Amino acid sequence: MSLDAFGVGARTHFTAALAGTVTSVKASSGAILGWHFGSANAALGFVQIFDAAAADVTLGTTVPKLSIYYGATTPAFIALPKPIPFGTAISVAATTTAGGLTAASCAANVFFA
C-alpha cells in the first residue's frame, strides 16, 4: 500500500534510537497511518503514542492514546486500513511498560499525515 493511499500527503518520522525522552512526530493535529517499531537492544518494550505536544507529556503520568508492544526479536508493524486521528499533536516515547516511565530503546518509523 502506498503511504499516500488515503490522499493525505503522508510522511515518515524515523529515529534509530527512540527511548524514554518524548519525541515530537508532528507538532500539530494529524493522523497516524502505520508504524514499524523494532528493538534496538534485543529487549521488549512499548512505544507510547500521545495526542499531545512533546513538552506537555510526563511519562508515567500522561495517559497515551496508544501503547504498542514490540518484542525482543519481533518488530511491531502495521499499515492501518484507516488513519487514527490526533487532534493536538503526535508525540512518542519508548518505555519498558505500557504506561510507564522507564526508558526502553527501539528503532521507530511512524507513518503519518
Close Cβ partners of 106 (under 8 Å, ≥ 6 residues apart):
17, 18, 37, 38, 39, 40, 45, 47, 70, 94
- Res 3 pLDDT > 60: no
Kindly state the percentage of the chain with pLDDT values over 90.
88
pLDDT of amino acid 88: 98
pLDDT of amino acid 9: 73
| Average pLDDT over every residue of 11-35 | 96
Q: How confident is the model at residue 29 (pLDDT cuts 50, 70, 90)?
A: very high
Task: Give the Cα separation of 11 and 67 in Å (integer).
Answer: 21
pLDDT in tens, 69-102: 999 999 999 999 999 999 999 999 999 999 999 9
Question: CA torsion sign, 38 to 41 to 42 to 46?
Answer: negative
Question: Any idea where the domains of the chain sit in the sequence?
Answer: 16-95
- Res 53 pLDDT > 90: yes
Q: Grid coordinates 505500557 are at which residue?
A: 98
pLDDT of amino acid 1: 41
State the cell numbers at 69: 508492544
pLDDT of amino acid 4: 52
Distances (CA, A) of 9 to 20, 23, 112: 29, 21, 9
